[in-house]
A and B are shown apart, each in its own frame.
Chain A
Amino acid sequence: MNRLGVGSAIVLLLAAIYFFVPLAMTVAFSLWEGGSRYGLASYHVLLHRAELGSALVLSIELAVATAAALVVLLLPAMIFMNLYAPRLRPAFEFIASLPFVVPAIALVAGLTALFTGPDWLVGSPFYLVIPYFFLALPYAYRALDVGIRALDLTTLTEAGQSLGASLWQIIGLVVLPNLRSALIGSLLLTLAVIIGEFTFANVLLFDTFAVIMNQIGQHEATEAAALSVMAFLLTWAAMAGVLIVGRGRAQVGGAR
């Protein structure tokens, strides 16, 4: 530690206290069964709450649908923009930065003002995929942009064409495999963010994981702590995946 310096050691020690005390306290609180008894009762109760399970399934479905929307709508547009229309880059940058300027709660206010129907769209929980796409857009764009710029797409395409490959073959066999780590990283992050997303779902009245989590936690203190521990482990698992495919490069995103 002496090579670290006293000042830095103190900084890291204080940070460690600030970051680990709430985690330890939350774990301990989740195991509390009243008095001086400790056990797994609150976790047991949670596992038998049917509404929590179905909400988690819905959130996972929404996360997968959002990831699919990114792959179908954003990825091809970005590849083709880089290939054929690099002049449109400022427009892409503008759109990708809009969700930062227009907060989630403002976007949901705008969406409710503009779209009151049709019911098959705004009445279905999968309506959430639209705002979730824009929630994921800034960091998905950033990750893919870094990945695509590292590729020299023009040379790769010309090389492929001179070997007689079609556009599909070039994209499927050359471009996508090279973008794999950028793509998987941002999709994992999307999964983590969407599973915990609360703002849009709460205002639009859909029972997603975070909404049900809030309903349960407002009444049951130890179950709230248990849910918090489970959410932390979920985030940890998703981030471990992001760090592994991103070779140690951390990513952040989402609404808080």
Chain B
Amino acid sequence: MSGVGSRADNTPLLTPAAARLRPAFGRVLPWLCIGAFFAFAAAFMLAPTIMLAIQSVMDDGAFTLDFISSLGEYRYRVAFENSLVLSVASATVGVLAGAPIAHAVIKPGAPRWLRSAVTSFSAVAANFAGVPLAFAFISTLGSLGLLTRLLKQAGIDIYALGFSLYSITGLTLTYSYFQVPLMVIIVTPAFEALRPSWREAAESMGASSWQYWRMVGLPVLAPSLLSGWILLFGSAFSAYATAYALTSGNIGLVTTEISNVLSGNVMASPQTGAALSVGMIVVMVAVLAVSAGLAQRAARWMPHR
């Protein structure tokens, strides 16, 4: 700020020429742009969300809790259970596999080419999801997939052994293909922030590798791992295209149930779809709230960074 003099009042410094170039329109324009963005978000993001909440408790203009309580029906309870199990499982696999991969490439001993290769591949794989991902796994591990047939020739019939790609296990295996790289991308900066001097200090005091990770490494990484897990949970919970293309809606997930209602595949009122959607939003808000609480607790004894 040196060279422009004392600027305590923070008013823009204008030459007379520039001041003349800022007519009323120039002063209104910024607020028009900000207002347009807010109006757009209010009309097409907030209003539809509020509409869902209203629709889920209204029937012919009268208040009712019928649709919310219909979420307790067997069909929808199974859908919520399936979605939760799938999201928790694939997010946990993502963290348990993604964090060691990020750690392995960040290590001082790791070659540089390895690191850029893993980063680039993670960027591609994390964005390779939906219909094409489902087709890749059907081609590989579907009941007529290439790997399935190769294993059968080798004497291992995985479908006879109880495996199915079109199950929660199969979906978890498929989702991991974008969950793991997603976690690698999210958590790599956190591993970079681990200073080698912390490890050296721990070692010089006689700490084992296990003690270093338990007392230094993991506590420092915990907030990043937690927020990464939340992001993965959300990406699996709201995933629709991959599951739809893989199972054709044969496995009830909340997302596929909502789409069945919307496309009229099942005898269910639009209000049931709205109630299911509200249920999803409630789960997401609850997960975020719990994670915010945990992050706050972690921050209490975290060193200031």
Residues of A participating in the B interface, judged by any CB pair closer than 8 Å: 3-5, 7-9, 11-12, 15, 18-19, 21-23, 25-26, 28-30, 32, 73-74, 76-77, 80-81, 83-85, 88, 91, 95, 98-115, 130-131, 133-134, 155, 157-158, 161-162, 164-167, 189, 192-193, 196-199, 202-203, 205, 210, 213-214, 217-218, 221, 224-225, 227-228, 231-232, 235-236, 238-240, 242-243, 248, 250-256
Contact = CB atoms under 8 A, between A and B. Distances in A.
Contact of A130 (B14, B44, B122, B140): B44
Given A198-B130, A254-B129, A91 B136 contact: no
Given A26-B140, A103-B237, A109-B262, A4 B277 contact: no
A250 B45 contact: no
A217 B109 contact: no
Given A100-B234, A255-B238, A255-B241, A77 B131 contact: no
Interface in B8-60: 12-15, 17-18, 21-22, 26, 29-31, 33-34, 36-38, 40-41, 44-49, 51-52, 55
Contacts of A202: 241, 244, 259
Contact of B107 (A5, A102, A165): A5
B85 interface: no
B240 A77 contact: no
26 contacts: A8-B103, A8-B110, A9-B104, A12-B118, A25-B147, A26-B135, A26-B139, A29-B146, A77-B37, A99-B45, A110-B51, A113-B48, A134-B44, A158-B12, A161-B13, A162-B4, A167-B21, A198-B241, A221-B139, A224-B138, A227-B135, A228-B133, A239-B124, A251-B123, A252-B123, A253-B127
Nearest to A20: B121
B52 A110 contact: yes
Interface in B276-291: 276-278, 280-281, 284-285, 288
B36 A105 contact: no
A171 to B, nearest CB: 10
B284 to A, nearest CB: 5
B255 interface: yes
Given A166-B21, A217-B135, 13 more contacts: A11-B101, A84-B31, A100-B284, A103-B255, A103-B281, A106-B238, A111-B44, A158-B4, A167-B21, A210-B241, A221-B138, A231-B132, A232-B128
Contacts of B109: 3-5
Interface of B: prevailing SS: helix
Given A225-B135, A225-B136, A235-B127, A166 B22 contact: yes
Given A25-B145, A210-B130, A113 B135 contact: no
Interface of A: prevailing SS: helix
A256 B238 CA distance: 8
Interface residues of B, number: 105
Contacts of A228: 132-133, 135-136, 139
